[in-house]
A and B are shown apart, each in its own frame.
Chain A
Amino acid sequence: MTAPAKVNAQIILKDTLISLLLYVAPIALMFLTFYITGSRPWLTTSTEALPFRMPAVVELVFQNLRTWGLPVIMLVVGIVEFSVGLYENKWTKNERVLDIVCFILPKIVVRPLIAYFGLKILPFVFPDAKDAFAWVPFWWAFAIMAVADDLTQYWYHRLHHQLPVLWRFHRTHHSAPYMGMAMASRQNIIYTIFFSQIYLTVALTYFGLGYAALFVGGIKSLITTGAHSSIKWDKPFYTYKVLQPIGWVMERLISTPATHHAHHADTTDDGVGYYKGNFGNMFFIWDLIFGTGIITRQYPKAYGLKHYKQEEWYAQLLWPIFKSSKEGSELSANGPVVGDVIASVPEEEAVEHAVEPPPVSVVAAQI
């Protein structure tokens, strides 16, 4: 292992240990509360009826959001973005086909896999664990699920940037030279099928935390969709003085267009773009904790990859099953593992995005 790779591995190991504490934190706080108050919810909660339910209308909104609501929101926002010219004529036929297939295909392929995992594999592996944690009070379950789902996705995402062997499975999401709904679900299908946090959420749902997962999932979808949008809805929070305190908290807590667009910038050297970090999906706070984030309240001038070769949509969707015919492409048969490092560096030495320790986290330019 080379020195930079070793440093990278040490940082990942240290942050993994911190993450274990973060996963445990809401659980420890929950039991501490039980200890102080003398509460024992498992004595009074049956698995048949939930002790807490959201108002019916709220529940209905989130249930519909999970099924047809979010795709409709994405379509409507996407049409608005396109209508006002936010894709700047960069939505070529190849990009269009890729974005549309990536929008539709996971809904056909991934859902049956998740259903099989939840209905067949989990009952086989954990036959007596169904609803074992159904007694966990709603708001504690909400906190546990929010940390579990989003911190796991943070790691899944971060590792695809920091481990060269994984980069090409995530490259498709970064190749779009624009931001917006058109590219929000744009991923290599293997990246999407093996999304770790989806299976974690299904498993915790099987254990009895599913009601809270419904609301965590809905809120997370809205935040991540908003962060990918080319509509800079967060700008007023930095512009108007009365909104600035809210903006200060918001940009540290959740992903916004400013912080997530920086992650999709085509450069990381202009003080605004930062594709080496800002990995958070729902919560940005993980980037602050691990020192992988920057906040500038500005938006990149250009998006995508400097070394993008407009690879065929099927190669971007199905690599490595299908390869690109573009000379020198990362997705071609003998292409580089990571296109923005020197091509002659062997795979095991090409530690993309993480050759140096991450910088101190926050550059709050207008604070």
Chain B
Amino acid sequence: MTLADVTIIIKKIAIGFIVFLVPLLVIGGTIWFIYHLFNAHH
């Protein structure tokens, strides 16, 4: 394995992490946010 190989694996993991994190934050954040809106107004 060369430094270029390590770099490409890190890039791959980073992109995969973003693909995981964005929906997690959007879904989790949306449920949490609207839930709190409901409880604040009702």
Which residues of A does B touch, CB under 8 Å?
A: 16, 19-20, 23-24, 27-28, 31, 34-35, 40, 42, 129, 132-133, 136, 144, 148, 151-152, 155-156, 159, 163, 165-166, 169, 190, 194-197, 199-200, 203-204, 207, 320-321
Contact = CB atoms under 8 A, between A and B. Distances in A.
A204 B30 CA distance: 13
> Which of under 10, 10 to 19, 20 to 34, or 35 or more describes the interface residues of B?
20 to 34
A163 B26 contact: no
Interface in B1-42: 1, 5, 8-9, 11-13, 15-17, 19-20, 22-24, 26-28, 30-32, 34-35, 38, 42
A168 to B, nearest CB: 8
A202 B10 CA distance: 22
Contact of A165 (B8, B17, B23, B30): B8
A148 B19 CA distance: 11
21 contacts: A23-B26, A24-B27, A27-B34, A34-B38, A129-B28, A133-B28, A133-B31, A136-B31, A144-B31, A148-B27, A151-B23, A152-B23, A163-B15, A165-B8, A166-B11, A194-B16, A200-B24, A204-B27, A204-B28, A320-B8, A321-B1
Interface of B: 1, 5, 8-9, 11-13, 15-17, 19-20, 22-24, 26-28, 30-32, 34-35, 38, 42
A320 B1 contact: yes
A27 B27 contact: yes
Give the secondary structure class of B's interface. helix
Given A152-B23, A165-B11, A27 B31 contact: yes
Contacts of B32: 132
Contacts of B5: 320-321
A224 B1 CA distance: 34
A45 B27 CA distance: 20
Closest 10 CB pairs of A and B: A196-B20, A320-B5, A196-B19, A194-B16, A31-B34, A23-B26, A27-B30, A196-B16, A199-B20, A156-B19
A165 B12 contact: yes
A228 B9 CA distance: 27
Contacts of B23: 19, 23, 148, 151-152, 200
Given A159-B19, A204-B24, A320-B9, 16 more contacts: A16-B22, A24-B27, A24-B30, A27-B30, A28-B30, A129-B28, A132-B32, A144-B31, A163-B15, A194-B12, A194-B13, A196-B20, A197-B20, A200-B23, A203-B20, A321-B5
Contacts of B42: 40
Nearest to B1: A321
A111 B35 CA distance: 33
B19 A155 contact: yes
Contacts of B11: 165-166
A166 B15 contact: yes
B20 A152 contact: yes
Contact of B38 (A24, A31, A136, A151): A31
A234 to B, nearest CB: 29
B40 to A, nearest CB: 13
A163 B38 CA distance: 41
B35 to A, nearest CB: 7
B8 to A, nearest CB: 6
